[in-house]
Amino acid sequence: MRVKTYTSSQIRNVVLVGHGGSGKTTLAEAMLVRAGAINRAGSTMDHDPEEKEKGFSMALGLAQFEWRDHKINLLDSPGFPDFIGEVAAALRVADLAVFVVSAVDGVEVQTELIWRMAASQGVPRAVFVNKLDRERADFDGVVEQLQNRFGAGIAPLQLPIGTESSFHGVADLLSDTAYHYQDGVGSKADMPAELADREHEVHDALVEGIVVADDSLLERYLDGDVPGLDELAHALASGVAAASVFPVVCGSALTAVGVDRLLDLLVDEAPSPLDRGTFPVQAGDLEVEAEPDEKGEPLAFVFKSIADRHVGQLSMLKVLSGQVNPDDHLTNVRTGSDVRLHTLLSTMGGDQSPTGAAPCGDIVAVAKLTDVHTSDTLAPKGKPVRVPRLEMPAATLPVAVKAKTQADEDKLGIALGRLLDEDPSLRLERNEETRQTILWGMGETHVRTAIERMHRKFGVGVDTEDVRIAYRETILGEADAEGKHKKQSGGRGQFGVCFLKVAPMPRGEGFSFVDAVVGGAIPRQFIPAVEKGIVETMAEGGALGFPVVDVRVTCYDGKFHPVDSDEMSFKIAGRTGFREACGRANPVILEPVSRVEITVPAAVQGDALGDLNSRRGRVQGTEAAEDGEQVITALVPTSELLRYAIDLRSLSGGRGRFLFEHDHYEPVPAHLTDKILADAKQDQH
C-alpha cells in the first residue's frame, strides 16, 4: 500500500470547540463528506456507544483527511462543561481552534470560557458561525457579540447570502466573490445586488483591519495603494498565526453551505505546525524553548490515550519535532524505558489504518505501547527533554466508588488506572481514614459516564456511595478514669489496672503520653502496653467513635498481680481507661475545614456570598480579578462542599469555578453533632 507523505507545511492541526450543541460534530462530518473522506455523515465522530446514545460528544474525536493537497488533522471536542479536560488536551496540540457558534444562540458561556483558555495559551483562533439555515439566525448579531467580547481582532471574512431557510451561499469579502451552494458544493456566482453596497463597505473595513497589522502595508495603503489579494491573504495568515486576528466565516453544517470555504480557510490562512514557532520543554530542571524542526531529532508528546475495543490501548501522539517512523525506537522520558512504535496509524473517528512516517507537526496514533501514558514524552535515547504535562482544570466533584463484587474488586485498581489515563481530568484519591476510594470529576455527568465506561470497556462493576467525611474527635475538658481488666477463668487469670488522666492539647499536636507512675504501682515493662492500648483506641475511635486527636494522657497510678498481670491485660486496661476518661472530658467531633478560592462574575458575587453563608462558610476576603470577575476566599466545612461543583455551576450560569484544599480541623457546632453520629451509625450497618 502506498501512503501519501506530507511535509510539515502541508499539515493543519485544527480543533473544533464551542458551546454544547453548536454543531461541532455535524460540522466535522460535513467537512469529511465534502472532502470525500466519508460517504455519509452521522456516525464517524461520535462513534462511542455512549455518545450515540446521549446524542452529544464526550471525548475528543480525530479524523485525518486531505483537502487541496494538505493533511487536515481535525479534532472534534465536546462542548458539555464536564468534558472540558478533552478541550484542554486538544488545545495543546491544535494550531488553530475553530469556535463553532450557533447563529441562533449566539456566544454562549462555554464558548467564552474556552476562548479564554485558548487565549491564555496563545492558540490561534477562528470562528464558524453555524446554523444560518435556521429561523432567527442572526449573523450580524453574532459578529457584534464576538467583537464586544473578544475585541478588535475579530475579522468577518464573509457575509451570508439569503436568510433562514433561503440561506444558500456566502460572500467572500477579501476576494469580492459570491459562492452559491448546491448539494454542499459551492460555485462562484455574481454578487447579489442587495448585498453589493454592504459588501463594499465591509470589504473596506476588513482591508483596513488587516493592513493595520502590517506596517509596510499600512504605509502603502495610506498612500492610496490598495494591496492585492495575495498580499492581504498573506498578512491575514500572519495575523492568524500570531493569534491577533480571528477570522469569522459562516455557513450551515447541516446543509453544508460554507463548509468547503472553511476547508479552504484552513489551507490558506491557518498556521502550519512550523508557523507556530517554539514551544517550552524541560531539560532537567531548566525550562527552555524548543523548535519544531523537520530535520531535527524526533520528539513526540502523548496527548490522549484511548482504550479501544479492537486494538487495545491507543496512544495519540503529536510529533513536536523531527520525524517519527514506523518501528522507531524512542525513550519514554518519564520511565527511561525503550519504546518501540511498530505500526503508525491514521485515524478516522473510531477506525484506524496503517500509515507511513509522521513528519514534524503531524498527529499519529500508535497501538499497544507498553507503559506509555497520557502526557508522556517520547524522545531519542540520551536526550531527556520533557514536554510539560497536560494541565487539567481542577476536578471538584467527589464520588466514592466501590467494586460491586470480589471479581470486580480484583480488577478495580487496573481499571481505574486506565480510566484516568484515558481521561486525566478525573482524579483518584484513597482516604484511609474513611476507607473510601474517591473519584473526582468535573460534574455529575462526568463521573457517571466514567463509571459506565469502566463497566463497558474494562468489565468492572462499580457502585457509588456518599462520600464520608473524615471526622475526628477530641476533648475540651480534663477527666480521670480507672481502666481495669480482670478475668478469672480456670487456670492463670488476667489482671491489670491503670489510672489515667486526659487533657486537651492544642490543635494539631496529636498525642502525648506521660508516664507518672511511681513506686512500681505498674511494673515498668507493662507501661508501654498501656500506651499501646491507648494509641490503638485513638485510631479506632474514642468515646464518639471517631479517631481521637490532640489529647495528653497521663498514667499516674495502677495495680498489678504478681502472677496474673501480663501485657495484654494492661493493654486492655489502657483501652477501657482511655475511652472512659474521654467520655467524661467533654468529647467533641472535629470536622475538616477547607480553604476555598471561588472565581465568579461580579454580577453573581452577592449570590455566591449568600450561598457560602448558608454553608457555614467564613469569608476571608474578596478581590477583583481580570475580566470583571471576583475572587472570594473563604473557609468552609468540607462536608458543605461535596456538591458545591454542581451548585456553583447553576448559581453562576456555568461561569463560576473554584479550588479548595484542606486547611484545618475544628469542632462541629453542637446542633449538628447528633446528625453526624446517627449517620456514622448508619454507615457501620
Ligand X SMILES: Nc1nc2c(ncn2[C@@H]2O[C@H](COP(=O)(O)OP(=O)(O)OP(=O)(O)O)[C@@H](O)[C@H]2O)c(=O)[nH]1
Which residues would be at the binding site for ligand X (CB under 6 A)?
20-26, 56-57, 78-80, 100, 130-131, 133-134, 252-254
Question: What sign does the dihedral 645-646-647-649 (CA atoms) show?
Answer: positive
Rounded to the nearest 10 degrees, the angle between the axes of helix 109-120 and helix 84-93 is 40
Closest by CA position to 255, among listed 185, 189, 184 = 184
- How many C-beta atoms surround the C-beta of residue 657 within 10 A? 19
- The residue with cell 489504518 is 353
Residue number, 57 or 436, with CB nearest to ligand X: 57
Say which entry of Mg ion, ligand X, none residue 130 contacts (CB below 5 to 8 A, set by partner kind).
Answer: ligand X
Residue number, 26 or 352, with CB nearest to ligand X: 26
The minimum distance between CB 547 and ligand X, in angstroms, equals 45
The C-alpha cell that represents 325 in the structure block: 517512523
The minimum distance between CB 363 and ligand X, in angstroms, equals 20
Residue number, 20 or 162, with CB nearest to ligand X: 20
Say which entry of Mg ion, ligand X, none residue 253 contacts (CB below 5 to 8 A, set by partner kind).
Answer: ligand X
Residue number, 24 or 318, with CB nearest to Mg ion: 24
Residue number, 252 or 437, with CB nearest to ligand X: 252
Q: Round to whole Å and give the CA distance between 157 and 183.
A: 23
Q: How many degrees, rounded to 5, is the angle at CA 402 between CA 399 and CA 406? A: 170
The minimum distance between CB 21 and ligand X, in angstroms, equals 4
**Residue 605 contacts Mg ion per CB under 5 A:** no
For residue 173, report the phi and psi dihedrals to the nearest 5 degrees. -75, -40
Residue number, 77 or 347, with CB nearest to ligand X: 77
The minimum distance between CB 257 and ligand X, in angstroms, equals 8
Say which entry of Mg ion, ligand X, none residue 373 contacts (CB below 5 to 8 A, set by partner kind).
Answer: none
The interface region with Mg ion, picked from 17-25, 271-279, 358-366, 632-640 by CB under 5 A, is: 17-25
The minimum distance between CB 56 and ligand X, in angstroms, equals 3
The interface region with Mg ion, picked from 53-61, 85-93, 214-222, 595-603 by CB under 5 A, is: 53-61
- How many C-beta atoms surround the C-beta of residue 682 within 10 A? 8
* Mode of pairing for the β-strands spanning 344-348 and 177-182: unpaired
The minimum distance between CB 535 and Mg ion, in angstroms, equals 56
Are the CB atoms for 554 and 517 separated by under 8 Å?
no
Report the first-to-last Cα separation within the chain, whole angstroms: 64
Are the CB atoms for 117 and 88 separated by under 8 Å?
yes
For residue 225, report the phi and psi dihedrals to the nearest 5 degrees. -95, 105
The minimum distance between CB 15 and ligand X, in angstroms, equals 12
**Residue 26 contacts Mg ion per CB under 5 A:** no
Q: Which of residues 336-375 bind Mg ion (CB under 5 A)?
A: none
Q: Round to whole Å and give the CA distance between 317 and 307.
A: 15
Residue number, 57 or 332, with CB nearest to Mg ion: 57
The interface region with Mg ion, picked from 16-24, 158-166, 270-278, 493-501 by CB under 5 A, is: 16-24
CA 442 to mean position of chain CA atoms: 7
Interacting residue with Mg ion among 57, 73, 346, 425 (CB under 5 A): 57
Long-range contacts: 309-315, Cβ < 8 Å, 24+? Answer: 309/457, 311/345, 311/352, 311/367, 311/368, 312/367, 312/368, 313/367, 313/368, 313/369, 313/418, 314/345, 314/352, 314/365, 314/366, 314/367, 315/365, 315/366, 315/367, 315/369, 315/372
Residue number, 45 or 236, with CB nearest to ligand X: 45
**Residue 77 contacts Mg ion per CB under 5 A:** no
**Residue 130 contacts Mg ion per CB under 5 A:** no
Say which entry of Mg ion, ligand X, none residue 20 contacts (CB below 5 to 8 A, set by partner kind).
Answer: ligand X
3-state secondary structure 570-622: HHHHHHHHHHHHHHHCCEEEEEEEEEEEEEEEHHHHHHHHHHHHHCCCEEEEE
Say which entry of Mg ion, ligand X, none residue 124 contacts (CB below 5 to 8 A, set by partner kind).
Answer: none
The interface region with Mg ion, picked from 54-62, 222-230, 445-453, 588-596 by CB under 5 A, is: 54-62
Name the closest residue to ligand X (Cβ): 79
Are the CB atoms for 637 and 564 separated by under 8 Å?
no
Residue number, 98 or 360, with CB nearest to ligand X: 98
The minimum distance between CB 58 and Mg ion, in angstroms, equals 9
The minimum distance between CB 17 and ligand X, in angstroms, equals 9
| Rg, Å, the chain Cα set | 32
Residue number, 27 or 174, with CB nearest to Mg ion: 27
Say which entry of Mg ion, ligand X, none residue 90 contacts (CB below 5 to 8 A, set by partner kind).
Answer: none
Q: Round to whole Å and give the CA distance between 146 and 532.
A: 68
Continuous segment of H or E residues that includes residue 682 = helix 670-684
**Residue 315 contacts Mg ion per CB under 5 A:** no
DSSP state of 22: S
Residue number, 130 or 396, with CB nearest to ligand X: 130
Residue number, 80 or 570, with CB nearest to ligand X: 80
Say which entry of Mg ion, ligand X, none residue 577 contacts (CB below 5 to 8 A, set by partner kind).
Answer: none
CA 73 to mean position of chain CA atoms: 22
**Residue 321 contacts Mg ion per CB under 5 A:** no
**Residue 25 contacts Mg ion per CB under 5 A:** yes
The minimum distance between CB 80 and Mg ion, in angstroms, equals 9
- The residue with cell 461520535 is 46
Say which entry of Mg ion, ligand X, none residue 134 contacts (CB below 5 to 8 A, set by partner kind).
Answer: ligand X
* Mode of pairing for the β-strands spanning 436-441 and 96-102: unpaired
Say which entry of Mg ion, ligand X, none residue 334 contacts (CB below 5 to 8 A, set by partner kind).
Answer: none
Are the CB atoms for 305 and 422 separated by under 8 Å?
yes
Task: Please tell me the count of residues contacting Mg ion according to CB under 5 A.
Answer: 3
Say which entry of ligand X, Mg ion, none residue 420 contacts (CB below 5 to 8 A, set by partner kind).
Answer: none
The interface region with Mg ion, picked from 52-60, 336-344, 372-380, 610-618 by CB under 5 A, is: 52-60
Say which entry of Mg ion, ligand X, none residue 376 contacts (CB below 5 to 8 A, set by partner kind).
Answer: none
Residue number, 51 or 214, with CB nearest to Mg ion: 51
DSSP 368-398: --TT--TT-EEE-TT--EEPPPPP-PPP-EE
The interface region with Mg ion, picked from 8-16, 22-30, 217-225, 461-469 by CB under 5 A, is: 22-30
Residues that bind Mg ion (CB under 5 A): 24-25, 57
